[in-house]
A and B are shown apart, each in its own frame.
Chain A
Amino acid sequence: MAHNAYITDERIEGSDDGPLDGRTVAVKDNISTAGVRTTCGSDLLSDYVPPYDATVVDRLTAAGATISGKTNMDEFGMGTTTETSAFGPTENPAAPGHVPGGSSGGSAAAVAAGEADLALGTDTGGSVRCPAAFCGVVGIKPTYGLVSRYGLIAYANSLEQIGPIAPSVEEAAELLEVIAGPDDHDATTRDPAVEGADTDYAGAADGDVEGMEIGIPTELVDGADDEVVETFWDAIDELEAQGASYHEVDLPSVEHAVEAYYVIAMSEASSNLARFDGVRYGPEPEYEGNWNEEFAGVREEGFGEEVKRRILLGTYALSAGYHDKYYKKAQDARAWVKQDFDDALTEADVLASPTMPVPPMEMGESLDDPLTMYLADANTTPVNLANLPAISVPAGETDDGLPVGLQFVGPAFGEVDIIRAGSALA
């Protein structure tokens, strides 16, 4: 456990047989496990023990998987480096001294270090794909509605999905097959079969990209570091050699995706996190005062700085006089992004870009400058705004040996397309 990948290493045994029999799965610590504490990486929930299992946890154990423990994460999923956890930062096993990416950094690190066969993360603005890219493993952000969020402690409901992390595309696809599908407990889930979609995800990992058309959004390549861009184009060359072809596409809306994402995510967070008032769960209050004073005291003590920053900015964006200026505009940007992606995907099977515009940062490097950190999410956030599926696969390394990830984005419920494209590389 050298990388601080786990917050809690209690095992949960699965049933005796099933497609994941004999495999271990590490589960991000914002996914509820009955009887096993679930902290969200926060002091406020450091002793919280859920009375029920998330749907994905039920499906894992029914499929024969053993849950190896609960993994470290940015507090409440808010961060790009897994350094804002109340339980200390996680280190990147694939690049010692560097961050594993966030916010599912513990899950990606557990897989990269071989401490679990597979893992689950959650992706609100890139939190499965970013750590997958930084740790040199595979991560899938499913189409919104494919995987149940029942039992996921919410950060930004309209954006987030639970997704698999694995050493290979085929293993990630096998895990997705187990957790995907409608759930009576989550009314936002949809049945991919009813949508006319193919759900043989593992079977799609056949590496066959002959005749595949790839669209490359120039906006998502131009802003990236030179070495990242170089690695990206080498991977595209390899796909071309295997029979795929590509063309460049223009997505003007993505220039506004990051700010739209943060306005929407922070607004939803300010509402979702209002439940943490120290009455139903949380630390025992020691304040003398009325409800509001005690509530504010518990939250000052229990929440870390990034969480407070987002709650305050979200409260501000939703407050009288600013709602139209920020929140409504962000919803316009969201519709524009969706339209741009849908258009581009009529001319291409998948869209490709670097997953992250930068290689993994050094630990401690970027904590003091939140805005710079937010901008690192430029390539992943548009996908969540558009509710589309995306995969990050290893594309190679920089000269210093730092992993670089490549992202494929597909049409809604087009998981098989991105899995097939990704399997040609990893």
Chain B
Amino acid sequence: MSDSAVEPEDVRHVASLARVDLDDEEVDRFVEQFADILDYFETLDEVPEVDSETDLANVMRADEVRDSLTQDEALRNAPDSEDGFFKGPKVS
């Protein structure tokens, strides 16, 4: 996407990065809307650099074995499982 215009290929490219299929109508609508929205986001250029000193603190807990979900509970919502494993599509 360039500063001046958003092209359908740009929307398709980002959609593929985000792993979301889009139909052609959605691509057309997003081309138009993204141009407006990104133009608006450009006004962030007017924001000065700000020194922020955030107080950060580590939050640690003891590395101890605790109760957790059973394998059955963890798999309960999976559309497909086998022998106690999640079953997914092939990777390549």
A interface with B by C-beta (< 8 Å) = 47-49, 51-52, 184, 187-188, 253, 256, 259-260, 262-263, 270, 274, 277-285, 287, 289-297, 299-300, 303, 305, 308-309, 311-313, 315-317, 319, 325-326, 329-330, 332-333, 335-336, 338-339, 370-371, 374
Contacts and interface: CB of A to CB of B under 8 A. Distances in A.
A188 B59 CA distance: 8
Contacts of A299: 19-21
B46 interface: yes
A313 B47 contact: no
A332 B33 contact: no
Contacts of A370: 33, 37
B48 A336 contact: yes
Contact of A329 (B11, B40, B44): B44
B52 A335 contact: yes
A285 B89 CA distance: 9
Contact of B89 (A256, A294, A303): A294
Contact of A371 (B17, B33, B45, B80): B33
Contact of B90 (A184, A291, A303): A291
Q: Which 10 A/B pairs are nearest by Cβ-Cβ distance?
A: A335-B52, A300-B21, A284-B79, A187-B59, A329-B44, A281-B77, A51-B73, A335-B50, A294-B89, A315-B18
A177 to B, nearest CB: 24
Nearest to B92: A290
Contacts of B16: 296
20 contacts: A51-B74, A51-B76, A256-B43, A256-B47, A260-B47, A263-B44, A274-B19, A278-B79, A281-B77, A281-B78, A284-B79, A289-B89, A292-B19, A293-B89, A295-B89, A296-B15, A311-B18, A315-B18, A319-B14, A371-B36
A340 B48 CA distance: 13
A98 to B, nearest CB: 24
A308 B78 contact: no
A311 B26 contact: no
Contacts of B44: 256, 259-260, 263, 325-326, 329-330, 332-333
Which of B21, B40, B47, B50 lies at the interface centre, i.e. has the most chain A CB atoms within 10 A of its CB?
A: B47
A297 B90 contact: no
Contact of A291 (B14, B15, B26, B89): B89
A311 B20 contact: yes
Interface of B: 1, 11, 14-23, 26, 29-30, 33-34, 36-38, 40-41, 43-52, 59, 61, 69, 73-74, 76-80, 86-92
B25 to A, nearest CB: 10
A256 B46 contact: yes
Contacts of A49: 76-77
Contacts, number: 143
Contact of A332 (B14, B20, B49, B88): B49
A332 B50 contact: yes
Contacts of A278: 79
Which of A303, A333, A338 lies at the interface centre, i.e. has the most chain B CB atoms within 10 A of its CB?
A: A333
**Majority secondary structure of chain B interface residues (helix, strand, loop or mixed):** loop
A260 B45 CA distance: 11
A333 B19 contact: no
A275 to B, nearest CB: 12
Contact of A48 (B21, B51, B77): B77
A305 B28 CA distance: 13
Given A290-B92, A315-B17, A335-B51, 9 more contacts: A259-B43, A263-B44, A277-B19, A281-B77, A284-B79, A290-B90, A296-B21, A308-B22, A313-B38
Nearest to B51: A335
Contact of B34 (A293, A300, A313): A313
Contacts of B50: 332-333, 335-336, 339
A291 B43 CA distance: 38
Contacts of A335: 50-52
B18 A279 contact: no
A103 to B, nearest CB: 18
Nearest to B29: A305
A259 B41 contact: yes
B21 to A, nearest CB: 4
Nearest to A299: B20
Contact of A300 (B20, B29, B73): B20
A263 B17 CA distance: 17
Nearest to A317: B41
Which of B20, B45, B80 lies at the interface centre, i.e. has the most chain A CB atoms within 10 A of its CB?
A: B20
A212 B83 CA distance: 65
Which of B1, B19, B78 lies at the interface centre, i.e. has the most chain A CB atoms within 10 A of its CB?
A: B19
